[in-house]
Amino acid sequence: MSELSVNHLLGIKYLTEQDIDLIFETADHFKEVINRAIKKVPTLRDITIANIFFEDSTRTKLSFELAEKRLSADVINFSAGQSSVKKGETLIDTVNNILSMKVDMVVMRHPNPGAGIFLSRHVKAAIINAGDGAHEHPTQALLDSFSIRERLGGVAGKKVVIVGDILHSRVALSNIFALKLQGADVKVCGPRTLLPKHIESLGVGVETNLRKALEWCDVANMLRIQNERMEFSYFPTTREYSQQYGINKNLLESLDKEIVIMHPGPINRGVEITSDVADSNQSIILDQVENGVAIRMAVIYLLASKIK
């Protein structure tokens, strides 16, 4: 197969296992490209991409922009904070105005779940969801699985635990879909208040004891507490949370095996992960960031080849 089954990347939920294989094979190629002395290819010289961000972002925005530039696409950037959205313009009007400047693809981050899906039905451009509220963050899940595959040789059959604020995390949901699709064994771990009620219906196990979860897994993906999405307290204090659900070097060394530590960033050092763990050899956090560029190049390239 040399083509994706979709015209937009709205969520992992809409992808097939073959789509993921194709994205990974393409990303392998681009990873080699970005490690050359000349890190750029002329492939998308005739494509214009708009990055529109209605929510804060550091690494995702930079990673998309770098991926687009490495492919030689023309890039425009738009942040809602400095725009006419503040003057009451609707999402469709904002985006249609951008598209009338002949834009082929939109990378969008938005606080509302389903914003990308909505947009894909109303505007004529390929849409990539760069995070829609607490719903999905598909390129993050793709780069996470790609990083597991790189470190452990594959994803199928691997035991992965996602730890922390599952309830408010789009990274958790997209990871669950991606890992299950590739045949991994998945558990979620956190305080009951941060685990969605019917999470088992997605085919994942639930473990509220961190030590037990770590003893079981090959990989632990540590999530940040999404304070910005909470309207009240889900646990007594940050200190208590980190005592029960944070990973530190002692805990890691007391396990009878070496597990792989991941984190999508931004890290809250000392809360979900201590510095010595984040910076240890077991952590692949910076590999995730590097792989993010290759994965986004692959997704953009594959979607662009469907517009032409």
Contact residues: ligand NCD, CB under 6 A: 59-60, 131, 137, 140, 170-171, 224, 264-265
Please, what is the minimum distance in Å from the beta carbon of residue 294 to ligand NCD? 15
Q: Measured between alpha carbons, how far is 235 from 182 in angstroms, rounded to an integer?
A: 33
Please, what is the minimum distance in Å from the beta carbon of residue 265 to ligand NCD? 5
Please, what is the minimum distance in Å from the beta carbon of residue 16 to ligand NCD? 24
Please, what is the minimum distance in Å from the beta carbon of residue 231 to ligand NCD? 17
Which segments of 90-137 does DSSP mark as H helices, in order? 91-99, 115-122
Let me know: does 248 contact 272? Beta carbons within 8 Å.
no
Q: Of 254 and 275, which has the nearer Cβ to ligand NCD? A: 275
What are the DSSP E strand ranges found in 39-97?
48-53, 74-79
Please, what is the minimum distance in Å from the beta carbon of residue 263 to ligand NCD? 9
Q: Of 63 and 274, which has the nearer Cβ to ligand NCD? A: 63
The SS3 of residue 78 is: strand
Residue type, 198: H
Please, what is the minimum distance in Å from the beta carbon of residue 62 to ligand NCD? 10
Q: Of 111 and 205, which has the nearer Cβ to ligand NCD? A: 111
Q: Measured between alpha carbons, how far is 292 from 7 in angstroms, rounded to an integer?
A: 20
Q: Of 131 and 246, which has the nearer Cβ to ligand NCD? A: 131
Report the candidate in 202, 199, 181 with the shortest Cα–Cα distance to residue 190.
Answer: 199
Let me know: does 163 contact 210? Beta carbons within 8 Å.
yes
User: What is the sign, positive or negative, of the torsion defined by CA atoms of 68, 107, 2, 158?
Assistant: positive
Residue closest to ligand NCD when measured from CB atoms: 224
Both structure tokens of 174:
């997209």
- Find all residues with CB under 8 Å of 236, minimum gap 6, and list them: none
Please, what is the minimum distance in Å from the beta carbon of residue 133 to ligand NCD? 9
> If you ran DSSP here, which 8-state letter would residue 199 be given?
G
Let me know: does 246 contact 274? Beta carbons within 8 Å.
yes
Q: Of 47 and 222, which has the nearer Cβ to ligand NCD? A: 222
Q: Of 47 and 186, which has the nearer Cβ to ligand NCD? A: 186
Q: Of 216 and 234, which has the nearer Cβ to ligand NCD? A: 234
